[in-house]
Structure 1
Amino acid sequence: MSDLTARRQPTLDSDPVRTAMPWAVLFSGTPWVGGAHRQHALARELTTEHHVMFVDPPGQRPRWQATVTQVDRALWHAVPPTAVPLGRHLPPGNEINRWVAAGALRRWLHHHGGRIRLLWMDEDLAAPCADRLPAAAVVYDATDLDWTFTRWWNRRHLRRNLARALTAADLVLASSSALPERMPLLGPVPVVLPNGCDPTHFAVDGPVAPLVACLRGPIVGYCGAVDTRAFDADLVAAVARARPHWTFLLIGPSTRSGRAPLRGLDNVILTGPVGYTDIPALLRGCDVTVIPYRVGGLIDYVHPKKCYEYLALGKPVVATALPALRKLEGLVRIAAGPAAFTEALATELDTAAVPEQIARRRAVAAANSWAHRGQRLRNLLEGLPR
């Protein structure tokens, strides 16, 4: 233990847990309070056979106190210490932060009788933890190519840790069928475990948000970030200009550069950040939903879980040609360019309320629920050491 760590020993608070069920420790790149993402859903699915500790990434500022808090029957949330700021950009800082965090969690688990079966990483920079926590098996869940959305001078740092995580893993998962071909050929062959949805949360029956009820129809809905990395604001702006009598409801946070092409369009409404609980009520009032992502760039590998959430609500979906969505073509209408996208929306609006189509969409969403993903995951984990 370094002098720095010895001087400022983290304090960890939680009720003791001493049962025969092993632990899965998940080092995530998304904080627990970040919402209902893939990481959160799979963590909950793992609780059927494990105590699960969901570990937040290091913070941007120094933090010496660490906490472990129980949030569900077999689920704990850990906020680790951050010894050095900017660890995401400074390799030595990341090593120190992960070394300190892993040591603190190892002591907590030892004190409470924890035996780690799975060390799970969905963040490349968590790779050093695989050397610090004794686990029967290591799982790397590829949800993003982190190096693709950082500055050029930081890409080597992230790619090196990606290689390290893949090499350490006994099982590699990929959230999209388009991801494995973009990953280094290291470690086990990736197994595609696509994103899913919670059909109960995105149920057809339920309230409609007052905001949507006041809007002029038809309403084209989108849920997600309005940014320059994935969202094609130029495409949406062109369609909005072509159909000024349609309302485009964009649900989620936005960046200044992301929303710049939409400036001056009265029929485009940006809600700003919206809590997960409130999203279904906004989408229920939409007539058709969209996934207008950029293609031909660095984010072609994504598998947007919003697609199944739209379908769970019975909404028609129009999307750009993301590789992971091609298998849904026929249910999801794929279109490229403003003219084709506008035409696709018009076609889907004509059949949006057809009961048979709504039932078909909901059935596909149900077959792609997080519960189904969890069963598939448990089958995959059967082959790993216990």
Structure 2
Amino acid sequence: MHPCIASGGATWVIFFSATPWHGGAHRQHAIARQLATTYRVIFVDPPGLRIRRGTSIRRVEHAIWHAELPTTVPFGRHLPAANSINRRVAVAVLRRWLLRDPAEVALVWLDEDLAAGCASRIDASAVVYDAADLDWTFTRRWNRRHLRRSLSRAVAAADLVLASSAALPARMPASRQTPVVLPNACDPGHFTPHGPTVPRPVEPGRPLIGYSGSIDSRAFDGELVAAVARNRPDWTFLLIGPSTRAGRKPLAGLTNVLLTGPIPYPDLPATLRVCDVAMIPYRLGGLVDYVHPKKCYEYLALGKPVVATPLPALTGMTGVVRLAAGADDFSAAIASTLTETTGPERVAHRRAVATANSWSVRGEQLHRLLAGLVR
């Protein structure tokens, strides 16, 4: 291994992300920023579905460069040959750009399964694969073989395999490296109990139940929320985030369910601060119940009480999060939470849990893993 890796600073991390840099404040962005405390990071956007001829690699933060590389052939997500061509072109562009700086490439970071072929084409000291999701579950059945094969290649290429949830490794292919769970986290400095608030969208005294995230049919349980909303017409449910037609369908006609649409990340705390209870109504037993929702820690950082369905990743948090399955139990859990007094001690306890699960704490854990990897 290269000795300069341990000292950091001069070496590069090539970060192949499944989410564009401008796609929001996701796990990929947070981890890239933690890596940037030691390395210089090139954050590579995924190829587009359509042809993109231009190349842009520019510094966006102190030690992070954002790379938008050519998409030579369309539909690489669906066609293995097209994906292979696009990745070869991307690596060639990156290697030419890196010739301007003789520094070593410490890590190839694979967040996107389809980028697995890039690992063998870049002379790096180590390869890290971070399983934030099961990408093959986000496509149609006819395309799953292509993506599952890419997942197997990414896992096989890695010297370190990470997983965002303790429920993920059992759903991943066998690998020569035992996956290490590095859970999602939050930025407690951004999600604080005190700060600006938006106008409360309900009359005083009417309970407001908040949710932030996608309103879709994969993870979000619209049927559950609709049933609870019908049970409790005296509550209002504020759903913050982008929505799909399938996600909105169960909620149609419910006047006590408000959809805000996407809200910029900087403005999200101000909207959540006006809510009395925050919820995570996710589906159970499906393709995505392995998730470890970072919104749980964001809610807690705001000091908000949380009611969630009993996802495997949340079952160890029963002391601070109220878990309930089914419309009746979920309604009862919210009702019980609304009757509790939220004093400074409760808020401080929730904040303490969130702070113990901050991205800076995850960054320390990550750097310890990388130090062991490069020795």
Q: TM-score, normalised by structure 2?
A: 0.96
Secondary structure of 1:107 counterpart:
helix
**Amino acid of the residue matched to residue 16 of structure 2?**
F
> Contact (CA 8 Å) 2:202, 2:236: kept in 1 or not?
no
> Contact (CA 8 Å) 2:75, 2:82: kept in 1 or not?
yes
Partner of 1:122: 111
Task: Give the Cα separation in 2 of the matches to 1:114 and 1:91.
Answer: 32
Secondary structure of 2:99 counterpart:
helix
Q: 1:328 aligns with which of 317, 341, 361?
A: 317
CA RMSD of aligned residues (A): 1.3
Query: How do 1:305-324 residues align onto structure 2 when only pairs under 5 Å count?
Result: 305-324=294-313
**Amino acid of the residue matched to residue 207 of structure 1?**
P
Q: 1:374 aligns with which of 341, 351, 363?
A: 363
Partner of 1:181: 170
Gaps of 5+ in 2: 1-7
> Contact (CA 8 Å) 2:9, 2:39: kept in 1 or not?
no
> Contact (CA 8 Å) 1:140, 1:173: kept in 2 or not?
yes
> Contact (CA 8 Å) 2:219, 2:282: kept in 1 or not?
yes
Q: Deviations over 1:254-291 (max 9, x none)?
A: 01111111111111000011111111000000000000
Partner of 1:353: 342
> Contact (CA 8 Å) 2:241, 2:260: kept in 1 or not?
yes
Query: How do 1:116-265 residues align onto structure 2 when only pairs under 5 Å count?
Result: 116-210=105-199, 212=201, 217-265=206-254
Secondary structure of 1:229 counterpart:
coil
Task: Give the Cα separation in 2 of the matches to 1:33 and 1:184.
Answer: 30
**Amino acid of the residue matched to residue 223 of structure 1?**
S
User: Shift in Å at residue 117 of structure 1?
Assistant: 0.4
Partner of 1:10: none
* CA distance 1:216–1:150, change in 2 (3 Å): farther
> Contact (CA 8 Å) 2:200, 2:274: kept in 1 or not?
no
Partner of 2:23: 34
**Amino acid of the residue matched to residue 248 of structure 1?**
F
State the identity %.
Answer: 62
* CA distance 1:215–1:100, change in 2 (3 Å): farther
Partner of 2:327: 338
Task: Give the Cα separation in 2 of the matches to 1:212 and 1:150.
Answer: 36
Task: Give the Cα separation in 2 of the matches to 1:168 and 1:61.
Answer: 28
**Amino acid of the residue matched to residue 118 of structure 2?**
C
User: Shift in Å at residue 47 of structure 1?
Assistant: 1.1
Q: 1:266 aligns with which of 231, 249, 255?
A: 255
Q: TM-score, normalised by structure 1?
A: 0.93
* CA distance 1:212–1:49, change in 2 (3 Å): same
Task: Give the Cα separation in 2 of the matches to 1:297 and 1:349.
Answer: 30
Q: Deviations over 1:64-118 (max 9, x none)?
A: 2111110111111001110011100000000001110011001101222232000
> Contact (CA 8 Å) 1:316, 1:352: kept in 2 or not?
no
* CA distance 1:137–1:326, change in 2 (3 Å): same
Task: Give the Cα separation in 1 of the matches to 2:104 and 2:95.
Answer: 10
Q: Does 1:91 align with 2:80?
A: yes
> Contact (CA 8 Å) 1:55, 1:79: kept in 2 or not?
yes
Task: Give the Cα separation in 1 of the matches to 2:15 and 2:55.
Answer: 16
Gaps of 5+ in 1: 1-18
* CA distance 1:133–1:212, change in 2 (3 Å): farther
